[in-house]
Each structure stands twice: as structure tokens, then as C-alpha cells.
Amino acid sequence: MKRRNSLFAIFGDPVSHSVSPLMHNYAFSGLGFPGCYTRYRLAEGSQLRRKFLDLSLSGVNVTVPHKEAAYLACDEVRGIAREIEAVNTIIREEGKLIGYNTDAPGFLKSALAFGEIRSVAILGAGGTAKALAAIFRREGVETAILNRSSGRLEYFVARGYRACDWEQWKPKAYDLVVNTTSAGLQEQTLPAPGEILEPLLRDARYAIDVIYNRQTPFLQLAKTLGKPAKDGSEMLLYQGVIAFDHFTAHRYDEEEITRWMRRAFA
Ligand code: NDP
């Protein structure tokens, strides 16, 4: 097998908080792959491709706010990323930049660890909501979107999802409720009014907040109502495992990669 060059990075703004370098470097050293993973604060998404090439990188992860720019920067986009139109993992393959989205399958793996899911209500209508909606639809899961304002709902309505703002919402039971809004990240606020959220969570089987390392008001409410609930750490871990699998051309067992990357969360 042709050996890849070995420098990888995460591009984003900000990136100082990112745990990705730790995850990937634990896995490189644990698995004996001669790789090094660093972080690079990229202010302009339009510079992504040039920076990738200037730094002679073998692969990158891309975080906020450049996932759409990353989609445009690639020579070829594969898998679910084509539907989502957002890329968080790029590898270099025979001189071409190939893009993937590993957030969506990473989240799915975390969600399915709860058990079977036949329906999901997604709170928020941004980039993460698009990724989750696309992967759940692919799995045949009934998917609804609930957002505080109507502007971003058009994307979902045009694709045939049930998509409502708080005013239009009619109660219905869903197996899983996911918070993809940033409510709870800075301020201690719920992602939707209590009179909508409480019945939604009471009728649900599971809850996930994609925000990680934080007991958000959403997670606290789900737990108060006795629901199995988790934060976004597992999503972060699994998106990293799938990205690493692309970086290293599928040469390692995913369980092994997961075992090494978990150390970053200890
Ligand atoms: P976007 O900015 O694309 O979308 C944010 C959405 O949240 C919008 O629909 C917005 O509504 C809504 N929103 C924002 N603030 C509030 C609030 N106070 N109350 C209710 N709704 C609100 O964000 P992303 O989709 O890119 O990211 C969302 C979250 O997901 C972030 O916290 C990010 O850290 C996390 N994330 C976690 C990952 C992981 O691996 N665990 C991976 C990727 C993201 P409106 O349309 O009305 O403005």
C-alpha cells in the first residue's frame, strides 16, 4: 500500500478549544501510524484549499464556520456529504481533495447505541440539523424539525420534512429528541419553550444534546423526566473515528481506533 504523507490538521475559527488533535494523536501513537495532527485557525473559508496545499497536508477536519466552504473546496465529494452540502473531513487522494461528512454517521452511531429509533424530533435548523436529518432519512427514520424562527425551515420544507417554528408546532410523540441549537452553550436556556419541550421529552424514549462536556438545561430536563440522555461527546468521538479511518486508508479496526481516541475524553 502506498504510504500517505503524515501531517493532518483541524481548520476552523476558533480552534483553540478543539479536542481533535488529542484524539487523533492518541490514535496515531497507539496504533503506530507515523502521523501528526495539529490545529490551524483559518479565518477565511475561501483560503481553505490553498492552505491545505501550502501546508502539504494529507488530510484535515473542518469545523465551524467552514464546513460549507470545505464542500466547495473539494475536487470530489462522497457519500452523505453530497446531500448535506457540508464537509468536515478532507483527504488527499492521488493529488485530489476528496470530501466526506463524518458528523452525520458519527451521530447516528451514538444515537443507535440507545436502541431502535423510528422517529426523531430535531431542535434547530442549522448545519448540524441538516446533517442529522439527511442521515435519519437515509435510515428510513421519520424526521421532524422544530426551530424558533421560520427562515431556515424552507430548506427542510422543500425536501419534504415536517418542519415547524414554535408557533406552528403540534404535539406528537417521537422516539428521540435531539438538541442541535446552541441554547445551553453560553446561557442556561432551553432550546424551546417549556410548554413545547416538556411534553415532547415526556413522550420520547431518549434525548441527545450535540453540545458536549456540559449539563445543558435541555439534558437536565430530560434527566428530570427520567429519560436516558447523553451529550455530544460520543458524536465527537465517532466522527473522529470515521475521519481517522479515512485518513489512514481503512487499515485499522474501528474498535481499536475508538479505544485509543477515548483516552482524549478521560
Ligand atoms: P448553526 O448556527 O448552523 O444553527 C444553530 C441553530 O440553533 C439555528 O437553527 C438557530 O435558530 C438555533 N438557535 C441558536 N440559538 C438558539 C437559542 N438560544 N434558542 C433556540 N434556538 C437557537 O449551528 P450548527 O448547527 O453548526 O451547530 C449547532 C451546535 O452543534 C453547536 O453548539 C455546536 O457546538 C454543536 N456541534 C457539535 C458537534 C459534536 O461533534 N458534538 C458537531 C457539530 C456541531 P435560528 O434559525 O432561529 O437562528
Q: Can 96 be counted among the known catalytic residues?
A: no
Q: Give the closest residue to 63 by CA, choosing from 19, 22, 28.
A: 19
263: DSSP letter:
G
| Residue 20 confidence class, pLDDT cut points 50, 70, 90 | very high
pTM for the predicted model, two decimal places: 0.94
Q: What separation in angstroms does the CA of 260 have from each of 123, 126, 237? A: 32, 31, 10
Averaged pLDDT for residues 32-59: 97
Three-class SS state of 149: coil
DSSP 58-107: SEEEE-TT-HHHHHHH-SEE-TTHHHHT--SEEEEETTEEEEE--HHHHH
Order of strands across the sheet that contains 36-41: 36-41, 7-12, 59-62, 89-93, 96-100, 76-77
Percentage of residues in the chain with pLDDT exceeding 70? 98
pLDDT for the residue 65 = 95
Catalytic, out of 51, 67, 223, 227: 67
Does the pLDDT of residue 2 top 70, yes or no? no
At a CB cut-off of 8 Å and minimum separation 6, what does 185 contact? 211, 214, 216
∠ CA 92-15-99, nearest 5°, is 25
Would you say 112 and 133 are in contact if contact means Cβ atoms under 8 Å apart?
Answer: no
Residue nearest to atom 4 of ligand 1 (CA): 126
pLDDT for the residue 3 = 53
| Residue 5 confidence class, pLDDT cut points 50, 70, 90 | low
219 vs 102: CA distance, rounded Å: 24
pLDDT for the residue 266 = 86
pLDDT for the residue 145 = 98
pLDDT in tens, 183-242: 998 889 999 999 999 999 999 999 999 999 999 999 999 999 999 999 999 999 999 999
Measured in angstroms, how far is the CA atom of residue 209 from the centroid of ligand 1?
A: 10
177 vs 173: CA distance, rounded Å: 10
Length of the chain: 266
DSSP 99-119: EE--HHHHHHHHHHTT---SE
Instruction: Report the half-sphere exposure of 75 (CA within 13 A, side-chain side).
Output: 11
Would you say 58 and 94 are in contact if contact means Cβ atoms under 8 Å apart?
Answer: no
Averaged pLDDT for residues 44-65: 97
pLDDT in tens, 188-200: 999 999 999 999 9
Would you say 123 and 179 are in contact if contact means Cβ atoms under 8 Å apart?
Answer: yes
Residues with CB under 6 A from ligand 1: 64, 103, 124-129, 147-149, 151-152, 180-183, 185, 189, 191, 210-212, 232, 235-236, 239
pLDDT for the residue 34 = 95
pLDDT in tens, 81-135: 999 999 999 999 999 999 999 999 999 999 999 999 999 999 999 999 999 999 9
